[in-house]
Amino acid sequence: QVVFRPSRDCKDLPSRPLSLRMAKAAKKSGRATKEPVTRDYTIHLHKHMQTVSFKKRAARAVRVVRQFAGKVMLTQDVKVDTKLNEFLWSNGVRNVPRRVRIRLSRKRNEDEDAKDKSFTLVQHVPVESFKGLQTETVRDE
């Protein structure tokens, strides 16, 4: 007895019910808002430093922070604050801090000739301990 199972390539047969497909489409369209917002995150840098040669670690840490900020805030333009850069390089090129607490601020671009409408500013938030910290939305004043 042969049972028909549509493959993933079969476009004419819906794989999911209509309500689920519409909910997913609404969710995707809702994420595209680029309103100014500020949040605090903790990045676990140590897991990104595995298999990275010593002389490239601090530079890789800066790149990881940039990629994280761009992914979370949905912006291409990411500006890293000098205090954060100094913190990442504080122990030298080899010994990058294991974790870093950062404040991501999505802001409107005031530049007329900028290709993006918004950019992300990444700042360092000094903390005593990383225990129990979660992502927090910071109120702008």
Predicted local distance difference test score (pLDDT) of residue 119: 94
pLDDT in tens, 5-33: 655 555 555 566 655 565 555 555 555 56
Q: Per-residue pLDDT tens for 25-76?
A: 555 555 556 899 999 999 999 999 999 999 999 999 999 999 999 999 999 9
111: pLDDT confidence band, cut at 50, 70 and 90?
A: confident
Q: Is the pLDDT of residue 84 over 70?
A: yes
DSSP assignment of 74-122: T-S-EEE-HHHHHHHTTTTTT---SEEEEEEEEEE---TT-SSSEEEEE
